[in-house]
Amino acid sequence: MGQLRAPVTRREKQREATYDEIVAVSAQLLAEGADLSLRAVAGRMGMTAPALYRYVANYQQLVDLVAFELDKAATAEWAAAAERFPEDDPAARLAVACVRFRNWALSKPREFALVFANPIAEADSQRRELLTVSTSGHFFTDLLWQIWEQRRFPFPSLDELDPVIRDAVLDPLIPARAEHIPAEDRGLLWIYMRSWSALYGVVTLESTGHCDPRVIESGQLFRATVLDWLEPLGLGDDRERLAAIMDEELARR
């Protein structure tokens, strides 16, 4: 018989509800274009700043909490949208999720910036560990793993990798499950890193407006970037179908 879990106390429920409110208020401030600060959040919640410190000790903790929860909520929406395709069609799910990720970044650029442009100092090991549990990172790399299981696309051997990259894939600090990947096959993580950098790069350019607005509006740079990665992921023969799925999703925006 399994061990029974202790019931959640009223105090714990209240504390959890306060964290939820902190995230909701912070998201509202971001949507309004207001400054996100401990004072602003406390004021919107009808609390004093010192009272808020019982939940978040400083501004960085506030940012980390809000970023994690916004990422989690957004990823749940992309995953739900992708589920219109069956579990054994991870390529279609990935096509949907990539477009939904882009749409979120364009419609909520301040949320996107908080989640993905939140610098981590080299010495800050605790916050770097937090990065590795990013919900969106796990969602996308899990889909890539499922695609690899089906397509067995090639990836570099450890001997082919630069020593720095070899160390990085053997002891990864990225949001991806790697325990199930044998050490000799960790070159697959280099595909994870490179494909994510391509998706993140084009979406960041568009979300920040650092791109011709006509190109952003058309979605063609984003579309071309994603389609360029189909062949390396063993999906070249599925290009027409996946392009049609992306175009349908792009038209929804």
Q: What is the pLDDT of residues 92-134, one digit of tens each?
A: 999 999 999 999 999 999 999 999 877 665 556 665 566 666 7
Tokens of 11: 């105090």
Residue percentage of the chain with pLDDT more than 90? 77
Residues 33 and 158 in one domain: no
Average pLDDT over residues 216-233: 97
Domain total of the chain: 2
The amino acid present at 7, given as its one-letter code, is: P
User: pLDDT per residue over 4-31, tens digit each?
Assistant: 555 668 778 888 899 999 999 999 999 9
How far is it, in rounded angstroms, from Cα 138 to Cα 141? 5
Phi and psi at residue 120, to the nearest 5°:
-120, 120
What predicted TM-score, i.e. pTM, was given to this entire model? 0.89
- Residue entry with tokens 């992309």: 78
Residues 74 and 151 in one domain: yes
How far is it, in rounded angstroms, from Cα 61 to Cα 74? 20
The dihedral sign for the CA sequence 221, 92, 139, 69: positive
* 161 neighbors 203 (Cβ within 8 angstroms): no
Residues 6 or more apart whose Cβ sits within 8 Å of residue 228: 198
The amino acid present at 43, given as its one-letter code, is: G
In a domain, 63, yes or no: no
Residues 93 and 163 in one domain: yes
Residues 46 and 138 in one domain: no
Q: Containing domain of residue 115, as a range?
A: 70-252
